[in-house]
Structure 1
């Protein structure tokens, strides 16, 4: 049975610490091409009406082993940044989508975790991870929308802190 086409709606989850160190994971599919694709957690909806937050929670769990569901014991704090990007799908991945689909809508989330948060990669999808200061993480990303989201992290983390009663 052929694999169903991907839905052109995905999440991007920037995982970071209070010190604004960002988790990047290396895609397994680039190594076959001799390329290192470093990125934040990404993934498409499983069904069209799946809520963005459910997609984000599932993808984080699948790709890193981090539980960011509401009420989790890890202390991870998932925040919907209420931002979206629309971008052209990279040519090497167009075959995953139905004929004529050329663009994807990406919904952005931030996930604040404790320093030293354990990461467990899915080896079919990712082969390595690294924590980098946010500006270095942005430089290391292959995706311009991912790099842009990471560069917004200081502002978005400050807004999150103010919203939760922290000191501005």
Structure 2
């Protein structure tokens, strides 16, 4: 009987990630519930696979992996993905620091928007997310566990030229 090969250790995550606010033309936002932390709702996020990976490539890959939505189709052309020219630097939650190299405590997150047709139905990666919801932008911002995610969603009306939410 041959010996069982040792498991291959995953390389540490790169502390550069994307946040993709997926929305429809009317300002509804797609949120996903994390599989590893029930009750934590968020937009699509994900780290670069390699340091030289372009931000748009990271977005396209993460959106496809987490939602099944493919950027570059007739329904979702490449122009639907917009770099909001916003970078957030935040402290990595202690519960997830083990994924990074020793001593890494902060992440830089580049924010993008992705406009998809109303009624788009995501296909979730079950190891990452357990539920999805399309919500009006104010409700989506309120439901996010991440302050940077909520702040990005609160920018959506300005980016879509929607009237501000009534009090």
Deviations along 1:93-146, one digit per CA (max 9) or x if unpaired, are: 000000000000000000001111121000010000001000000000000000
Post-superposition offset of 1:16 = 0.5
Which TM-score applies when normalising by structure 1? 0.88
- The answer to whether the aligner puts 1:158 opposite 2:161 as a matched pair is yes
Q: Which residue of 1 aligns with 2:25?
A: 18
CA distance in 1: counterparts of 2:132 and 2:76, whole angstroms = 21
Q: Which residue of 2 aligns with 1:166?
A: none
Work out which of the residue numbers 3, 9, 14 in structure 2 matches 1:2.
9
Post-superposition offset of 1:87 = 0.1
3-state SS in 1 of match to 2:112: strand
CA distance in 1: counterparts of 2:34 and 2:15, whole angstroms = 19
CA distance in 2: counterparts of 1:74 and 1:62, whole angstroms = 17
Work out which of the residue numbers 81, 88, 95 in structure 2 matches 1:92.
95
Gaps of 5+ in 1: 160-168
Q: Which residue of 2 aligns with 1:111?
A: 114
Post-superposition offset of 1:67 = 0.7
Which TM-score applies when normalising by structure 2? 0.89
Post-superposition offset of 1:21 = 0.4
Post-superposition offset of 1:25 = 0.2
Q: Which residue of 2 aligns with 1:51?
A: 54
Q: Which residue of 2 aligns with 1:162?
A: none
Q: Which residue of 2 aligns with 1:126?
A: 129
Q: Which residue of 1 aligns with 2:43?
A: 40
Work out which of the residue numbers 140, 146, 149 in structure 2 matches 1:146.
149
Q: Which residue of 1 aligns with 2:75?
A: 74
* Number of equivalences: 153
3-state SS in 2 of match to 1:15: strand
Q: Which residue of 2 aligns with 1:163?
A: none
- The answer to whether the aligner puts 1:30 opposite 2:31 as a matched pair is no
Post-superposition offset of 1:157 = 2.2
Deviations along 1:35-59, one digit per CA (max 9) or x if unpaired, are: x110000000000010000000000
